[in-house]
Structure 1
Amino acid sequence: MKKLPLHIKIIIGLALGIIWAFVSSYLGWNQFTIDWIDPFGKIFIRILKAIAVPLVLLSIISGVSSLTDINRLGKLGLKTISFYLASTILAVGIGLAIVNLVQPGKFVNEDQRVKNRIKYELWVKNNPDVPKPKDGRSFLTDAKFDDKVSSAISDQVMDSLRAAAIQTDSKVSKLSESADETSSKGPLQFFVDMVPENVFGAFGSNSNMLQVIAFALFFGICLAMLPNDKVGGVISFVNGANEVILKMVDITMKAAPFFVFALLSGVIAKMADTPAEVLQIFKGLGSYSVTLLGGLLFMIFVLYPVITSLIIKKLSYKEFFKRMSPAQFLAFSTSSSAATLPVTMECVEENMGVSKKISSFVLPVGATVNMDGTSMYQAVAVVFLAQLHMVDLTLGQQLTIVLTATLASIGSAAVPSAGLVMMIIVLNSVGLNPAWVAIIFPVDRILDMFRTVVNVTGDATVSTLIAKSEGELNVPDDVPANK
């Protein structure tokens, strides 16, 4: 076992975690799993998050302070944002193409879709600020649907009573409040949020990675502008502390297979009490899940590795995965780009050969603003929900989805299921009911794992391509088995 590469050990941990979850649910040991195994998974994520903030801070300061030409930082920043915007728009475009081609919403029973459409029209009628459907159809005034309209009105009354009773505890209600708060911010709020009021608060338990990046950039630029005889000690401390943090990452990753086993066991144990319920989670929204999964896997196994191998000849298709797999498997198990960031940086620097000057800037920015998987998910999910309710979105509305999903992904936190809040904003942008987000709750956690793999792989790909364009890429001949 000691001679096995780290990514193989993580795969074994993932597989054993899934097997244990099914066995424990079958034997009724879920509570034991939650009480005695899942905490180790939580500890793992806490360790990674604790490492992530100082790693980002020290890496950016170290990288920026080593630049002899400050103007180069501005060019690097512009190139980074341009690459990330392009990849996000591409992800949304691929998602829209797939969901329009497969049309997963139409796999649902036609009678149920008609009922959904009637309920949607009733919702529009009761919300005057919402634009009317642009497809020109009206099921409410069609005589052949009178029975279904009466039934839908009765259901709506009951739904309203139930909603009023549980409003304060409703997950949808809380997500809607977060979405309203986010969408009500001004156009320059993104830049306001970048500047911390209290730098120590930005590093605290509710760390704001964007503020950490902004402070680190400012600090690093000032270090680079001052003569070495005045700040040499500070630079030495930063570089030394950065090496310590990297060693912490290395030690933590040696225990990653066990932690991944605990993490995945706990996630599945909390989702369902029996193996049948676990399978039902995937079956209930099968057409949507398969469609989105197809798009995400295309990004992971086709788009990123093919583009990289075409531009960087030494990184073949097989080598790409060999060098990035530890970060990818960890992203799958944690569902957090931020928690995976320390390992992503290690893989990109040591396995892909990207210089610290590039990785220390490009990757933290990517973990904060680049969410290719989340953007594709929003596009596919919104169109699926529209199809499920027999709402035909126009080309203009789908272009609105592209724009809104791209901008929303920039503000999406690098934590599990943050994309749900952003999806409410996207649903509102095209006049759809934000409460529909509850429909995809059952499968969101599992699909979130794949979305995070896309996010992390996209960040690594962009940083590698930027390093190539900047002459800062030195691909090592091979990856040691213990890495």
Structure 2
Amino acid sequence: MRYINAKKRFMVSDEDCITRSIEFTEESLKSIGLNKKLVIKAVLVAEETIAQLIKKMPPNGTFTVCVRKILGETEVVIRARGPEYNPDTTTADGVDNLERLEDEDAQDAIRAILLKAHGEDFKVSYKNGVNKIRILASGAESSMLINTMIGLVLGLIFGVLLQMVIPPQIAGGISKYALDPIKTVFMNCLKMIIAPVVFFSIVSCVSQFKDLSQLGRIGGKVMGVYMLTTVLAVLLSLGISMFIHPGNFGFALSLSEAAADVSVDTNVDTSILHTIIGIFPSNFVQPFVDSDTLKIIFLAFICGIAVGMIGEYSAFLKNFFDACNSLFLTITTLVTKIIPVAVFCSVALMVKDMGGASILSVLGFAGTVLFSMLCMMLVYGILIAVIGRLNPIHFYKKNREGMLTSFTLASSNAAMPTNMRTCTDKLGISPRVCSFSIPLGATVNMDGTCIFLTAAGLFLARAYGVSIPPSAYLSLVITIILLSLGCPGVPGAAIVCVGIVLVQIGVPIESVGLIIGIHPIIDMFETMSNTTGDVAAALIVAKTEGLLDVDLYKS
């Protein structure tokens, strides 16, 4: 893939340094061929960042702007020597009405909202007296989707060739010495990152919740609605999956050999009481060694809460856990870059070993997930009508742009600016609500992901012949709900979380290979469901708090 690196230095003493640096940034992004909307978003964030940055720099200081594209990601990197730069995003939470603020305060509030809305795509670091600000203008999601779909199609074709054209001896050798090792390497990498990703994601997320006491009633209502929709999503997917039974097309029979390898100890106590007691570990390290998900999640929650309660060390530990979270999210991103290759190998092996019945079963699973997400969309409308006492038709009409953007980008973080603009400009929601609820929802409100995780867990358990006792469903539901609070916001994160669910219910993690081929398509619907739930929650809370422009909503 083409590598582009455009770099230029600017003097703070120049009166037009901001204008010139922004013109350079815009021209460089356009020369790469970046989408117009993405260019505008990156330029706005860069402009506000540079404006804040040079306020703390000496008059004779300089800063550099670098625009580069590598591995499908386009980023703007700003470097400047001077005092540590801390972007001011705190005012975003307390903004009620921009019209009531003074001009300078309003500008600061707008900048705060803009930087906060950029989420994980805006990174700041300080080392050896140099500030480094990284603005991700365009991720590799679209290229990842295209490459994964190519891998899926090529895997289907190659699997048919292995089964019907290539001699069995040669086909067996290709499977044993090429396809299977690559698939195994990917699965091992997936297992490697599961525990640290879950732990640091949840600690980093929960450690921020101390701000809820300052936000008071609004913050409590936002989290209450998020938890309500999360529970409804899990129960809805559980009910639909148990009713439809996706995969009953001879798939389980073709996996009988694999099912025989799955040992389930029937003497294990799976009662509700045992499940609850089992959440609390007897030591800190063993849950990571055993990959005991519920214990890891419990430890993460305890650590996240404690971080904000230890005085002078709170800031240091929060930065430490945030750094660890970023580290393992980056590792996750690197691992997921080989998903197209893993998809090719997994699909080819699936078609070779199991034939057409397996494909029908996977398609049946995908159809079940998409139907569940469609039902969840209707649930949002019911909640808006019952709790918010609003016509949900207006919500669906005015949120079309946000839904389409989320579907296209397949990233809740990337869709945040569009969703926030939809909230304020089209739905009439006060920035006091949406400037908090939308960024928070992109982290903790994952209804579509919950639907996928529930359906995937039941489907793969059925495919591998693993029987889930009724009492074990409580553990499954708790795991998925807690995972939704710390699901990493990176492409392919749901696949990592599926591995966690499978470990919880005793299904081999290798079974993930059966669904990674279809997941990129499901992921687009997942994201749309996630962000629609975020906007719906913001609308409901704004209406109950009297922070909704009802006339604008109905117009």
TM-score by length of 2: 0.51
Q: Distance in 2 between matches of 1:430 and 1:40?
A: 44
Aligned residues: 330
Q: Give 1:92's aligned amino acid.
A: V
Q: Call closer, same or farther: CA 1:106–1:439 in 2, change over 3 Å.
A: same
Q: Distance in 1 between matches of 2:399 and 2:405?
A: 10
Aligned-residue sequence identity (percent) comes to 26
- The worse-fitting range, judged by mean Cα deviation, of 105-114 and 176-185 is 176-185
Aligned to 1:299: 376
Aligned to 2:92: 59
Aligned to 1:40: 34
How far is the alpha carbon of 1:90 from its aligned partner? 0.6
Q: Call closer, same or farther: CA 1:428–1:111 in 2, change over 3 Å.
A: closer
Is residue 183–residue 425 contact of structure 1 (8 Å, CA) maintained in 2?
Answer: no
How far is the alpha carbon of 1:360 from its aligned partner? 1.4
- The worse-fitting range, judged by mean Cα deviation, of 427-436 and 393-402 is 427-436
Is residue 466–residue 506 contact of structure 2 (8 Å, CA) maintained in 1?
Answer: no
How far is the alpha carbon of 1:110 from its aligned partner? 4.8
Q: Distance in 2 between matches of 1:82 and 1:474?
A: 22
Q: Distance in 2 between matches of 1:298 and 1:313?
A: 20
Listed as ranges, the gaps of 5+ residues in structure 2 are 1-29, 50-86, 102-211, 271-289, 309-313, 328-338, 345-355
Match of 1:93 among 232, 235, 245: 235
Aligned to 2:405: 330
Match of 1:286 among 347, 350, 363: 363
Match of 1:358 among 429, 433, 440: 433
How far is the alpha carbon of 1:62 from its aligned partner? 3.4
Is residue 134–residue 393 contact of structure 1 (8 Å, CA) maintained in 2?
Answer: no
How far is the alpha carbon of 1:344 from its aligned partner? 0.8
Q: Give 2:440's aligned amino acid.
A: V
The CA deviation string for residues 39-78 of structure 1, in whole angstroms up to 9 with x for no partner, is 73699399569959979655225359999xx977222222
Q: Distance in 2 between matches of 1:368 and 1:49?
A: 24
Is residue 476–residue 504 contact of structure 2 (8 Å, CA) maintained in 1?
Answer: yes
How far is the alpha carbon of 1:330 from its aligned partner? 0.7
Q: Call closer, same or farther: CA 1:189–1:422 in 2, change over 3 Å.
A: farther
Match of 1:109 among 222, 230, 251: 251
Is residue 427–residue 553 contact of structure 2 (8 Å, CA) maintained in 1?
Answer: no
Say whether 1:421 aligns with 2:454: no
Aligned to 1:321: 396
Q: What secondary structure sits across from 1:442 in the alignment?
A: coil
How far is the alpha carbon of 1:393 from its aligned partner? 1.2
RMSD across aligned C-alpha pairs, in angstroms? Answer: 4.6
How far is the alpha carbon of 1:111 from its aligned partner? 2.8
Higher helix share: 1
How far is the alpha carbon of 1:311 from its aligned partner? 4.5
Listed as ranges, the gaps of 5+ residues in structure 1 are 1-35, 125-130, 137-175, 209-266, 273-279
The CA deviation string for residues 172-203 of structure 1, in whole angstroms up to 9 with x for no partner, is xxxx9998996595441334678664999999
Higher strand share: 2
Q: Distance in 2 between matches of 1:432 and 1:340?
A: 34
Q: Give 1:44's aligned amino acid.
A: L
Q: Call closer, same or farther: CA 1:180–1:95 in 2, change over 3 Å.
A: closer
The CA deviation string for residues 266-314 of structure 1, in whole angstroms up to 9 with x for no partner, is x99x989xxxxxxx998672011000011011112x1112332444455
The CA deviation string for residues 207-234 of structure 1, in whole angstroms up to 9 with x for no partner, is 79xxxxxxxxxxxxxxxxxxxxxxxxxx
The structure with higher relative contact order (CA 8 Å, sep 6+) is 1
Q: Call closer, same or farther: CA 1:76–1:477 in 2, change over 3 Å.
A: closer
The CA deviation string for residues 404-423 of structure 1, in whole angstroms up to 9 with x for no partner, is 00001101123322122222
Q: Call closer, same or farther: CA 1:313–1:187 in 2, change over 3 Å.
A: closer
How far is the alpha carbon of 1:358 from its aligned partner? 1.1
Q: Distance in 1 between matches of 2:386 and 2:294?
A: 43
Q: Distance in 2 between matches of 1:432 and 1:102?
A: 20
Q: Call closer, same or farther: CA 1:39–1:118 in 2, change over 3 Å.
A: farther
